[in-house]
Amino acid sequence: MAQTPNDPAGTTHQFQNFANQGQSGKSGPSVGRIVGIVAVVAIVAVLVIALMFASL
């Protein structure tokens, strides 16, 4: 029965590359956070405009 060679150094190296890629993607703010902030700012702006028109 043939077995594939198990190279722990190779798999460790591949895992380190994978882990480094994950860290580099997390360095900046996430897209979801930016969209959430924009949505909150838009809602606040709409409420302020609505209150301004209601006081006229």
Q: Is 15 part of a structural domain of the chain?
A: no
Start-to-end Cα distance in the chain? 87
Instruction: For residue 2, name the pLDDT band (cuts at 50, 70, 90).
Output: low
Q: Is 46 part of a structural domain of the chain?
A: yes
Q: What is the pLDDT of residue 4?
A: 66
If one compares 1 and 21, the residue with the highest pLDDT of the two is 21
Report the domain count for the chain.
Answer: 1
Q: Is 38 part of a structural domain of the chain?
A: yes
Q: Is 13 part of a structural domain of the chain?
A: no
% of the chain residues with pLDDT over 90: 34
Q: Is 32 part of a structural domain of the chain?
A: yes
Instruction: For residue 34, name the pLDDT band (cuts at 50, 70, 90).
Output: very high
% of the chain residues with pLDDT over 70: 70
Q: Is 42 part of a structural domain of the chain?
A: yes
Q: Is 23 part of a structural domain of the chain?
A: no
Strand (E) or helix (H) holding 31: helix 31-54
- Domain of 54? 28-56
Q: Is 17 part of a structural domain of the chain?
A: no
CA distance 9 to 45: 56
